[in-house]
Chain A
Amino acid sequence: MARSGVGGVRALNEVIWPEEGPATTRRSRRRRGSLLSGLSRRALTNILIVIIALVEIYPLFWILTSSFKSQDDFTTQPLWSLPKHLNFHNYVTAWLTGNLGTDALNSLTVTLVSMAVILLLGSAAAFALEIMVWRGRTSILLLIIGGLMVPTQLILLPLFTIYFKLGLTNSLLPLIITYIGQGLPLTVFLMATYFRAVPRELFEACALDGGGAFRCFFSVGLPLVRNGIFTLGLLLFFSIWNDLLVALTFNSKPSLSTVQVGLLNFNGQYGQVAYGPLLAAISIVIFSTFIVYALINQRVMRGLTAGSVKG
């Protein structure tokens, strides 16, 4: 968080995935001091693990298996039973009538474009604020960090008026512009801390070698903070992809819906009558996220918790 000092963010990052050093020494010590015998202690641990795993996995397991059920299975069998055959019909219906394909494309466009612009503008600004030398940079940094205090709902209505007056409401631009504005404060703040961690001599050497400010930024600065960019990219990706408030506010027609808005509308239209397609749509959303998470979960956990220290 801002108040504990900017350096705290980096410290926290390094601390989240330590080399597991302390745990090793703890292990040998715990054995002796424990009141419970080793066996019952282990049994208790295993029971807890099973409970935690059940709580986390069962809802996901249920929605995956249910998404393969036919309408007949839903009406004649209890809801917790397994499907009789694997029936991909629901997925076809969800994808075609639910417009999930269009929604996914919209979400992907909005998310990737906003993300790219935020990272470029944010790291350039952070470079100017942290590495370059000029008067007034501290107050500009504070002004931008102050944006972390402004909740989304406060800016929504004026933004709606602005986009309406500019005639942008019939495109994805309102979403992209809003996400960029919202993402900048945290990005500038965190990128500034990443730049601060880079030894200053490197930039001075670059300047000495006759590189201009742009070269020092693109070929020295950016490569050195690529870890930070990746971490922030993940945080931005999930917060934009999962957002509903902004997406719903500026949604003017179904062909411009994001996945979240589409899912909500799909539930409104089919949710009560056709369980199968809705559960298939939810499954698509959940398990596509799962694939991303399975590949880079350690980075995701680090990135998302790094964002919370903004306070």
Chain B
Amino acid sequence: MRHILSNRRAIVAFIAPALVVYLGVIVVPAVWSLVYSFFKGTPALGFHFVGIANFRQLWTDPTVRQTLLFTIKYTVVLLTCQIVFGYLLALFYIFVLRRSSTIIRTLVFFPVVLPPVAVALLFNKLFAIAPQVGPVNSVLQLLGISPVDWFATGTAAFVVIIVMDLWRSAGFYAVLLYAGLVDIPEDVIESARIDGAGGWRLVRHIILPLSKPIVIASVIFGLNADLKVFDSILALNNGGPGTETTPLNLYMFQTSFLYNDYGYGSTIAMLITVLCLAGTVLVFRSSRRQVEREAV
């Protein structure tokens, strides 16, 4: 009986196709990309070796500095909003709406499944000023505020980007955190209530500490998603004005395909990868240290 489940031919037939595709599409290109960062050129024109010139360029390139700063700013602001709004929504679902929360939960989740491109084009029109004044500016006019050209300055465009991506993703974090909150044992909350904890104190001292694992999981997931932002900003305003709202990922794309510099593009891709790994490790280690401190 054992030998059927350890039949060599069957094992190879089951695992080989997946393994070959995985190695060919993920592992080999990932290593290859590292090699590319020491070259310049494109597949059509050929490559030549340049040593560490790409890395030196990465260090001094003012656009890299700008796009890196923007990516970090975007991630910090958006991630904070995602977790805070997601958590508030989850609390709202579980403690206020309770059994009737399904409809609202389903409604708020809907934008999550929408294509980011469609959402970005929609927000582009919602915040438009020309050729016609969009609904958002109409509301501002109604309130006696002069309409804003949202895509003319980096600051205003940043606001639209955050509002758009928050609208698109809040429902996702709400459901994720909701799952963690449902997990808290009922008798723990019960006994805290008997001890007189209610409202804010209950949340602060009981629910928040107990839901920490799922919050940290959400932060790590969000960090890796937000640092790689691409499609929504490309479709909304293409990172403008200039490169003021261009994230690293978009800059990497432009460098590779607009300026035909695959080697430098690969170097920027490396930077993105390192950023994601470093961010994840940082969140992970600081959360662990905090847990240890609390344990002592």
Contact = CB atoms under 8 A, between A and B. Distances in A.
Interface of A: 1, 3-4, 12, 15-16, 18, 20, 22-27, 29-30, 33, 35, 45, 48-49, 52-53, 55-59, 62-63, 66, 74-75, 78-80, 121-122, 124-125, 127-129, 131-134, 140, 143-144, 147, 149-162, 164-165, 177-178, 180-182, 184-185, 188, 203-204, 207-208, 211-214, 216-217, 238, 241-245, 248-249, 259-260, 263-264, 267, 271-273, 275, 278-279, 282, 285-286, 289-290, 292-293, 297-298, 300-301, 304-305, 308-311
Interface string B2-39: 10111110110111011101101111111011001000
A18 B185 CA distance: 13
A285 B284 CA distance: 38
A48 to B, nearest CB: 7
Given A79-B128, A147-B27, 11 more contacts: A23-B98, A26-B98, A78-B138, A132-B10, A132-B11, A134-B8, A157-B266, A162-B29, A241-B115, A242-B115, A278-B125
B121 A282 contact: yes
A272 B183 CA distance: 49
B158 interface: no
B87 interface: no
**6 closest residue pairs by CB, A with B:** A181-B25, A213-B10, A128-B14, A125-B18, A244-B231, A158-B29
A243 to B, nearest CB: 8
Interface stretch (B64-72, B101-109, B149-157): B101-109
A35 B108 contact: no
B22 A181 contact: yes
B126 A62 contact: yes
Contacts of B257: 249
Contacts, number: 316
B26 A57 contact: no
Contacts of B218: 308
A143 B28 CA distance: 13
B30 A154 contact: yes
Interface residues of B, number: 106
A133 B276 contact: no
Nearest to B24: A181
**Which of A134, A151, A238 has the most chain B CB within a 10 Å cutoff?**
A151
Given A79-B134, A161-B43, A155 B25 contact: yes
B176 interface: yes
Contact of B273 (A154, A165, A311): A154
B94 interface: yes
22 contacts: A29-B190, A45-B96, A132-B7, A133-B2, A153-B228, A154-B269, A154-B273, A155-B26, A156-B29, A158-B30, A161-B43, A161-B262, A207-B1, A214-B10, A238-B113, A245-B249, A278-B121, A282-B122, A285-B115, A300-B113, A304-B113, A311-B220
A293 B111 CA distance: 10
Contacts of B134: 79
Given A56-B107, A132-B6, A286 B125 contact: no
B199 interface: yes
B117 interface: yes
Interface string B118-139: 1001111110100111110010
B44 interface: yes
Contacts of A144: 18-19, 22
Contact of A311 (B36, B230, B280): B280
Contacts of A289: 113-115
Given A53-B107, A127-B14, A214-B10, A22 B113 contact: no
Interface string B256-289: 1100001001100110110011001000100000
Given A216-B4, A242-B116, A121 B26 contact: no
Contact of A1 (B109, B190, B221, B253): B221
Contacts of B15: 124-125, 128-129, 140
Contact of B235 (A56, A159, A264): A264
Contact of A275 (B96, B109, B132, B186): B132
B280 to A, nearest CB: 7
B264 to A, nearest CB: 10
B256 A33 contact: no
B22 A157 contact: no
Most-contacted residue by chain B among A4, A131, A153, A243 (CB, 10 A):
A153
Contacts of B19: 125, 140, 144
A158 B36 contact: yes
